[in-house]
Chain A
């Protein structure tokens, strides 16, 4: 434990190293803020039509729905429901029907999950597109900077040793057993790389594919994504992956020692395990 009573005595054996570049820390926090606002304004936008479809258009005269939220009358008053691939779930109080100003209201996501809290599509879009620009510019800056400062090559690119270490790494994570080393472990590389090179790019591309002007500029984009409504559904699913990543990210930080982890992403300095340097953790284990 980094926050045990013997921390000062252990400091000698557990060296502090400069682990995160300023550029990495800065971009991390900028897109943390951007994603927070994008998520909550995105749920506001979703609420304007809380139904998802597959294909070029929304089925009103036919069915291509994959998800819908709404409210209907039940024997004991209104009921909120969520329908996923035809399966019906009662989600009263959270999805489909939730309380706004003491009144049960028909809305997709509840007021506490949206910006603004009340129904306001116009403002939601203003907030969303502002932070979309922030995210895209930060991501581009991060990519260029990380190519030059070695962050990509040194920290994120998976190596052969990473793949060999994968099974053991999964076991370690499942047991909440963490090594504090200079390098990211395999699952970290896969998770961070997956978010930065798959999920966020797909979120941006599907977002662009929903823009009618961008569809005139690059019609093959929306076609390749399966049509505008499929793009919207993918956009939503990538959002779920981001939320899932965030939750796991928080659990991992808490489990691995939150002060040490937070220090490294705020100041750059990180305390290693005793006598463990780069790549030494896995070897020492065996």
Chain B
């Protein structure tokens, strides 16, 4: 039987045990996981594993949970740009988007251009879904739009097409080197998912400006940053290397993972 007494060795051991944790955190030795560090490459390999496993588990058609009208308890919380200051956007808005067109281009047999009225005349899908922000919060809203798969069917992607890239009208970043408008991308599996829609309406009304008017994409099995707002162009590509800084989207170029399913 031993009594609890503090010896010098005990004290030293406790200092090491307790101190090492604090030290690691406090002296910032764990910082410096910049985009191009090799340590980060190793850590990011786990994201590829997550992507493969989740794709294998979910398959192309597993649906995100849909909710009821009673679950719509608040306006959809907007995030990112909520009121674009871009001149072309403001001109479209002033005219209630009558002059606005959605361009579909890239690796397609038939490049297309849609007016808002044309999109609204196509078969639509309505879904009450939960929007999960990468920050951690969630919000349930009802979305109506045209399935992206229908648009893709009309444009007829070439066999080499692998990704759908979304180009937006809102300037997300402005600095000395210029300004960037929001952009993002998904693969064709998510693009053809039944719940992936080009939404023009929300909670029974036209899509509000803060939520991406006139058109935003809903990708219900991924996080909010994968659902660009203020769409103007959809481009089909075989590689993301030439898009922005090559990671497939604005936030991806700023350190977020391309696959936002987790």
Q: A residues touching B (Cβ–Cβ < 8 Å)?
A: 1-3, 36, 40, 45-46, 48-49, 51, 53, 56-62, 111-118, 120-123, 125-127, 129-130, 132-133, 176-180, 210-217, 219, 222-223, 228-229, 232, 250, 253-259, 262, 273
Contact = CB atoms under 8 A, between A and B. Distances in A.
B73 A61 contact: yes
Interface in B180-205: none
Contacts of A232: 136
B64 A212 contact: yes
Nearest to B222: A212
Nearest to A179: B1
B54 A57 contact: no
Nearest to A276: B1
A179 B22 CA distance: 31
B262 A258 contact: no
B223 interface: yes
Contacts of A177: 1-4
Nearest to B140: A57
A117 B25 CA distance: 7
A212 B254 contact: no
Interface of B: 1-5, 7, 9-10, 13-14, 17-18, 21-22, 24-26, 28, 30-33, 40, 42-47, 49-50, 54, 57-58, 62-65, 67, 71, 73-75, 77, 130, 132-140, 220-223, 251, 254-257, 260-262
A116 B31 contact: yes
A108 B140 CA distance: 25
Chain A CB within 10 A, most for which of B43, B44, B136: B136
Given A57-B139, A115-B30, A212 B221 contact: yes
Nearest to B132: A212
Contacts of A116: 28, 30-33
B63 to A, nearest CB: 6
Given A116-B33, A180-B2, A213-B222, A57 B134 contact: no
A217 B234 CA distance: 28
B197 to A, nearest CB: 15
A1 B4 CA distance: 8
Given A57-B140, A116-B31, A129-B50, A257 B2 contact: yes
A250 B50 contact: no
A13 B26 CA distance: 45
Contacts of A117: 25-26, 28, 30-31
Contact of A49 (B24, B54, B137, B140): B137
Contacts of B255: 120, 122-123, 126
Mostly, the A contact residues are helix
Contacts of B140: 56-57
Given A60-B139, A116-B31, A217-B62, 6 more contacts: A48-B135, A62-B73, A123-B255, A125-B257, A177-B4, A217-B58
B101 to A, nearest CB: 31
A59 B77 CA distance: 10
Nearest to B133: A49
Contacts of A48: 134-136
Nearest to A57: B138
A17 B67 CA distance: 59
Contacts of B73: 57, 59, 61-62
A217 B9 contact: no
Given A1-B5, A213-B261, A253-B17, A123 B136 contact: no
Contact of A59 (B28, B46, B74): B74
A111 B22 CA distance: 11
Given A58-B138, A122-B255, A212-B261, A217 B30 contact: no
Nearest to B75: A61
Contact of B220 (A126, A127, A212): A212
Contact of A212 (B40, B46, B223): B223
Contacts of B130: 56-57, 212, 228
A232 B4 CA distance: 39
Contacts of B22: 112
Contacts of A229: 137-138
